[in-house]
Amino acid sequence: MVERDMDKRKTATALSGGSGNVPEARRASRRIPQPVLAPARQGARTKSGGRPATVKSLTKGLRALDMLLQEGDVGTTDLARRLAIDKGGASRILKTLVEDGFALQGAGRRYQLSQKLRPAARMPQPPPGVSIRERARPLLERLNQLTQESSTLAVRADDQVLYLDKVDTELMLRVSRPIGTLAPLHCTALGKIFLAFSDAAPPVKLVGYTDRTPVTESALQATLRQIVERGYAIDDEELALGIRCVAAPLRGRGGHLVAAIGVSGPTVRISRAKLMEYGELTKAIAESFTL
């Protein structure tokens, strides 16, 4: 979708514990923005012509989420040391995660995972100090290189999918969703991976976003059976018209699902035939993932 600078600034300010309007940022983060096509912004490159610069405050918030997923229990001092920030900043980040429902405050200044993220916490985790994002980053870059489209990493967050990392296409017309946002399980390729290969349950009400969205249980179950047979999921204009996506599972030790990676692009570049081709490619690259 078009990266909405205002929403990104609000979310980034909240995660960094800054002085921004936290309640307003929280409401913005809970919306499910509809992805749309837009030209890639000019001027977002670094001076050397490389990738766009990251939003540092948002990165700190995501690293705090990584710590919660890996360790399940995080102290203010531990987070401050890991992020190289003061305890006040670490405290504001953790309190923002509590306010958004991702963490719970325990005794003293220690914080634990909320129920929203506990399903992900039961999955095998990387060794201490190594996050899923770090391990999956080379796969995203490889997908981007081979398809020239945007690639994304996501994990399950309760009954939705949470976008953890991405590599945007360098083409003028692109599909993108901001890191840290949530999306439905039943009509996104990444989300359907968790419905097909884990104990995730579909929402009670299957909301229709386009005329191609599966809105009946029978239609969704038929889709999930296809995903299990193919080994990858597709989103053929189910969340937004003009956009197609594929996704495949990332498995840890013992074959347990830990995350999903995918490729997204406009229908003018990704035909249905190419969608299947990208599905096989994504599955092959995902199979190289190790924890």
Span 142-169, pLDDT tens digits: 999 999 999 999 999 888 999 999 999 9
Give the mean pLDDT of 215-242: 96
Based on the domain organization, do 180 and 249 belong to the same domain?
Answer: yes
Q: Which pLDDT score is estimated for 215?
A: 95
Q: How many domains does the chain have?
A: 2
Based on the domain organization, do 222 and 261 belong to the same domain?
Answer: yes
Of 84-98, 115-129, 198-212, 275-289, minimum mean pLDDT range: 115-129
Query: Which letter does DSSP use for residue 76 in this model?
Result: H
70: three-class secondary structure by DSSP: helix
The whole-angstrom separation of Cα 136 and Cα 202 is 26
Backbone angles phi, psi at 157, to 5 degrees: -125, 95
Show the domain range for 258.
Answer: 132-286
Backbone angles phi, psi at 128, to 5 degrees: -50, 135
Banded pLDDT at 52 (limits 50, 70, 90): very low
The CATH code of the domain that includes 11 is: 1.10.10.10
Q: Which pLDDT score is estimated for 112?
A: 73
Based on the domain organization, do 190 and 80 belong to the same domain?
Answer: no
Hey, how many other C-beta atoms are within 10 angstroms of the C-beta on 128?
8
Residue 126 lies inside a defined structural domain of this protein: no
Domain boundary among 62, 86, 121: 121
266: three-class secondary structure by DSSP: strand
State the Cα angle at 268 between 216 and 186, rounded to 5°: 20
Based on the domain organization, do 136 and 279 belong to the same domain?
Answer: yes
Q: Which pLDDT score is estimated for 34?
A: 53
User: Which of these, 182, 113, 125, 115, lies nearest to 152 by C-alpha position?
Assistant: 182
More confident residue, 207 or 176: 207
Based on the domain organization, do 145 and 95 belong to the same domain?
Answer: no
